[in-house]
Structure 1
Amino acid sequence: MRLADLADRIEKSHCDSPREELARLDFMTENVARVHRDKKSHLTIVREAFVDQGDELESHVIKEEKILFPQKIELEEETQ
């Protein structure tokens, strides 16, 4: 399999789905933290941890899509 095909496959199967799931979970954790913030302060901590981890994951995915995959594809094309 060519690197371009592999990168495309990875993006579709391992990048798009987590982004969709993160959006859904972001909505849910925000609502729970907002509704229960006065009674259960630990939910706000969970929300903050989720946001931090979501940001970290998104940053990682963007680096793969914008830097790593294009570099590997370019390298493969140069060696052919």
Structure 2
Amino acid sequence: MNKRLRRISKYLTYILRHEPHSIGLKLDEEGYLPIDELVEKANASGKTITADLIQQVLTRQDPPLFALSDDGTRIRARTL
């Protein structure tokens, strides 16, 4: 994983595990955030993230740290 994707992965970990409210989001009852809202709020807070970059992070992680919902529209941190 390249440096940019690693930074995005760390940011996703921070948001999904610790501080979703820091960018104005709240996890749903299953611990998911909508990807489109995550991208929108992250960009509004000064990050440059796209759904494609999130997908790249997901496909390059070993072991996987994040999981997508069945419909692929939401993301959450995996339990380790």
Question: Normalised by the size of structure 2, how large is the TM-score?
Answer: 0.28
Task: Pick the structure with more helix per residue.
Answer: 1
Structure with greater strand share of residues: 2
Larger radius of gyration: 1
TM normalised by structure 1 equals 0.28
Q: Which structure is richer in relative contact order (CA contacts within 8 A, separation 6 or more)?
A: 1
